[in-house]
Amino acid sequence: MSAIDPAPDYEVRVAEDPADREACFAVRKDVFVAEQRVPEDIEYDAYDADAVHVLAVRADGEALGTGRLLHGTAAAAKNGDGDPAVGSLGRLAVTASARGLGVGAALVRAVEDAARARGLTAVDLHAQTHALGFYERLGYAAYGPEFPDAGIPHRAMRRAL
């Protein structure tokens, strides 16, 4: 007899209300600003206002992770070829206590679902190079040279939807 993994005790949802958005920003501050030393003045940008933000929340209400989807002209400005049909996944962050629980993959899938709902044909992202394997396991392929972003090495990646 084999054990069946229980369902995760968190949900992933689109952050629609101000409290959810604040939770997204708090996770980003913990992960990017505090842990990775990204300057706070470049962590938050004008794209945040119109982006679709997703949030992973534990059953007790604790925020575990976040990500965002840029679409339309905002995404076209970020993706490799300026195509407005290609979304841009970014600001994916999972709290230290939630890593290894599948939260990151669930957030990526939620962003992809949001992209499909908007009629997008693919999703681009800029992955920190240490995370390339994570995104490859989710079907993303790297393209182009390595580049620095906030002093951290990155590669562009894409997945067709």
Alpha-carbon span 144 to 161, nearest angstrom: 20
User: For residue 92, is it within any domain?
Assistant: yes
Altogether, the residues listed in the chain come to a count of 161
- Total domains in the chain come to 1
User: For residue 40, is it within any domain?
Assistant: yes
User: For residue 83, is it within any domain?
Assistant: yes
User: For residue 111, is it within any domain?
Assistant: yes
User: For residue 3, is it within any domain?
Assistant: no
Alpha-carbon span 27 to 23, nearest angstrom: 6
Residue 4's pLDDT band, with cuts at 50, 70 and 90, is low
CATH number at residue 61: 3.40.630.30
Say which residues have a Cβ less than 8 Å from residue 9's Cβ, sequence separation at least 6.
Answer: 58, 59
For tokens 């945040």, name the residue: 48
User: For residue 96, is it within any domain?
Assistant: yes
Q: What is the pLDDT of residues 86-130, one digit of tens each?
A: 999 999 999 999 999 999 999 999 999 999 999 999 999 999 999
User: For residue 5, is it within any domain?
Assistant: no
Q: What is the pLDDT of residues 8-46, one digit of tens each?
A: 789 999 999 999 999 999 999 999 999 999 999 899 899
Q: How many CB atoms lie within 10 A of CB 127?
A: 22
Judge if pTM exceeds 0.75.
yes
For tokens 């206590």, name the residue: 97
Alpha-carbon span 29 to 73, nearest angstrom: 26
pLDDT at 7: 57
- Show the tokens assigned to 106: 């669930």
pLDDT at 77: 83
CA distances to 17, 45, 80 from 25, in Å: 13, 11, 26
Domain that holds residue 79: 10-160
Alpha-carbon span 36 to 105, nearest angstrom: 20
Given a contact cutoff of 8 angstroms between Cβ atoms, the answer to whether 110 and 67 are in contact is: yes
